[in-house]
């Protein structure tokens, strides 16, 4: 959430020109957080493993949900910036 808010502030300040760096920042930080969680908090996923979910499905779904939420917020910020 902090990264999303930072990206919103960056988009508010610089507009459409900052969209590509913001997207890569979001992808990079989500990847780093996913790697950290996999290696240091992986044991907390056994509940989901018992339900039949794999690590790949869990990580991809979290990444996709977070990225879709960010796209919606970024669209709102860029739309509100016009006025």
Q: For 25-61, write each residue's pLDDT tens digit.
A: 999 999 999 999 999 988 888 999 999 999 999 999 9
6-44 per-residue burial string, b: 16 or more CB within 10 A, e: under 16: ebbebbeeeeeebeeebeeebeeebeeebeebeeeeeee
> How far, CA to CA in Å, does 61 sit from each of 24, 31, 55, 79?
18, 13, 10, 27
Percent of the chain, pLDDT > 70? Answer: 100
SS3 51: coil
In this predicted structure, what is the pLDDT of residue 43?
87
Q: Give the residue among 20, 14, 11, 13 at the shortest CA–CA distance from 74.
A: 11
Percent of the chain, pLDDT > 90? Answer: 84
pLDDT band at 82; cut points 50, 70, 90: confident
Q: Is it the case that residue 1 has pLDDT exceeding 90?
A: no
pLDDT band at 21; cut points 50, 70, 90: very high
């Amino acid at each position: 959430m902090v990264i999303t808010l930072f990206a919103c502030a960056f988009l508010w300040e610089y507009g459409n020109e900052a969209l590509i760096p913001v997207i890569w920042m979001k992808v990079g930080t989500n990847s780093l957080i996913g790697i950290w969680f996999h290696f240091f908090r992986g044991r907390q996923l056994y509940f989901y493993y018992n339900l039949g979910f794999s690590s790949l499905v869990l990580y991809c779904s979290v990444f996709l949900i977070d990225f879709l939420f960010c796209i919606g917020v970024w669209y709102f910020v860029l739309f509100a910036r016009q006025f």
